[in-house]
Amino acid sequence: MGCCHHYFTATEGGEDVFAVDVSSIAYGPGALNEAGEQAKALGIKRVALFTDKRLAALEHVAIVRKSLQNAGVDIAFYDEARVEPTDESFKAATRFAEEAKVDGFISVGGGSVMDTAKAASLYATYPADFLAYVNAPVGEGRPVPGKLKPHIACPTTSGTGSECTGVTVFDLLSMKAKTGIASRYLRPAQALIDPLTTHTLPANVVACSAFDVLSHALESYTAMPFTRRTRSRTPAERPMSQGANPWSDLGCREALRLAGRYMVRAVTDAADHEAREQLMWASTLAGIAFGNSGVHVPHGMAYAVAGLVKDYRPEGYPDDEPIIPHGMSVIVNAPSVFRTTAAACPGRHLEGAECLGADVRGAGDADAGEVVGARIVELMKPTGIPNGIAGVGYGEADIEALIQGTLPQQRLLKNAPMEIGAKHLHTMFEGALSYW
Ligand SMILES: [Zn+2]
């Protein structure tokens, strides 16, 4: 595995410094009961509590509410966060945040809910035209001007890692494209991670979340080394997607081990609390890791796969409209992507496969892509993931549109270990049509 040891070799004009930015984290069964005291410690007297309609009726929200009330924190309640949010749903949440006159935010839910709270806090604090802060080239990519009000993020799925990152993702309806906003200032001040929340999740939600974790970890691990990025002139200019680095490697390797070991159990047996709780820890580790390295092509392609959805309606999700859940839209691309990117750093791909539980004995550089791709496919089958992008409704004829939907995701494509153009994307989408 020659390249691993030299992955962070200094390059002419390249970056020498990497940064570690992390939310404060409180992790463990019952952590949600701390919500009130944590809010008080952050100086919050009146909080906007964000969740979605389905979760609003569940006990996690009730626990957080009670804890806030016991601590004497006033609550402005918002349960209109949308699963797979849009610019419209972000704007509605912003109007709520403006009128609620709060001094902090608390989100209880999956990535969609946490991302909605991030966006509402941003636009309520620094009002601007909606596209101002959105990643270029879709938006203007204007930097977030400064600090936001404190945000306590309480994830209830073991996937997105949004509680640890400064990223918020949404569908821009007018362009039928998924895009996002990225800034250190969006990172929640405090993550409250309670693994008990995973016990009641539908199997398909567990599967999609677990594959999101797996891909965060493997993409971060195989991302371009930070030393190959052009040196930032100031610390403020250093992007959060700074590339693979020794810190993110730590979380990635352990997250991959846990995902490889517990994913199938957690999905196929709802009573296997150990497996589900371990996935929550894997999600946390991967979130901390990719929040400091960035992901790459599978997530870039996922934006197009999810954004152009036709009529796919997954089990376990609200069925009033077609959606491809985030983790699913990522993993249907992943085996094909890693089969291609392995050529750039085969050692890292083989190590990743080994962490996931693949037998890598006798495998050489030339086998790396196949070994890691096959291991992911081996995990997709028993967990009910659709067979490639054809399994979620796409065919050969859609590839051009999918490529056009991916190319604007330059922040992600540039973080790949090799240069990615339309030609590569064509190969990767073609290879992602079906796997078995
Ligand atoms: Zn993701």
The angle at the Cα of 280, spanning 69 to 299, to the nearest 5 degrees, equals 110
Q: Which range (142-146, 159-163, 218-222, 403-407) has the least confidence?
A: 159-163
CA of 227 from ligand 1 middle (Å) equals: 24
**Structure tokens given for 331:** 């993993």
CA 408 to chain centre: 18
| Protein residues placing their CB within 5 Å of the ion ligand 1 | 212
- d(CA 94, ligand 1 centre) in Å: 24
What the block records as the tokens of 80 is 């209109």
The β-bridge relationship of strands 167-172 and 151-155 is: unpaired
pLDDT band at residue 232 using 50, 70 and 90 as cut-offs: very high
Alpha-carbon distance values, 207 to 237, 266, 385 (Å): 36, 8, 8
* Least confident span in 24-38, 165-179, 343-357, 402-416: 165-179
The band of 179, judged by pLDDT with boundaries at 50, 70 and 90, is: confident
Cβ count near 198 (within 10 Å)? 25
DSSP letter for each residue of 145-182: -S----EEEEESSSS--GGG-SEEEEEEGGGTEEEEEE
E strand or H helix at 279: helix 273-290
Q: What is the mean pLDDT of the chain?
A: 94
167 CA to centre of ligand 1 in angstroms: 10
Spell 126-150 as b/e; 16+ CB within 10 A means b.
eeeeebbbbbeebbeebebeeebbb
* pLDDT given for residue 125 in this prediction: 96
Q: What's residue 2's pLDDT?
A: 44
Tell me which DSSP letter residue 119 carries.
H
Residue 329 pLDDT > 90, yes or no?
yes
Mean pLDDT of 313-318: 84
Q: Is the pLDDT of residue 270 over 80?
A: yes
- Using pLDDT thresholds of 50, 70 and 90, give the confidence band for residue 1: very low
CA 171 – ligand 1 centroid, Å: 14
For 127, 286, 394, the CA distances from 217, given in Å and listed in that order, are: 34, 5, 26
What's the angle, vertex CA 347, arms to CA 344 and CA 348, rounded to 5? 80
CA pair distance 181, 106, nearest whole angstrom:
19
CA of 213 to the centre of ligand 1 (A): 7
The predicted model scores a pTM of 0.93
From the CA of 362, how far away is ligand 1's center (Å)? 32
Model pLDDT, residue 5? 57
| pLDDT > 70 in the chain, percent | 99
207 CA to centre of ligand 1 in angstroms: 13
Using the mean position of ligand 1's atoms as its centre, give its distance from the Cα of residue 101 in Å. 32
Model confidence over 43-92: pLDDT tens digits?
Answer: 999 999 999 998 999 999 999 999 999 999 999 999 999 988 999 999 99
Structure tokens at 130: 């909606």
- Split at pLDDT 50, 70, 90, the class of 228 is very high
CA-based angle 33:39:45, to the nearest 5? 130
Which residues contact residue 236 at a Cβ distance below 8 angstroms, ignoring those fewer than 6 apart? none
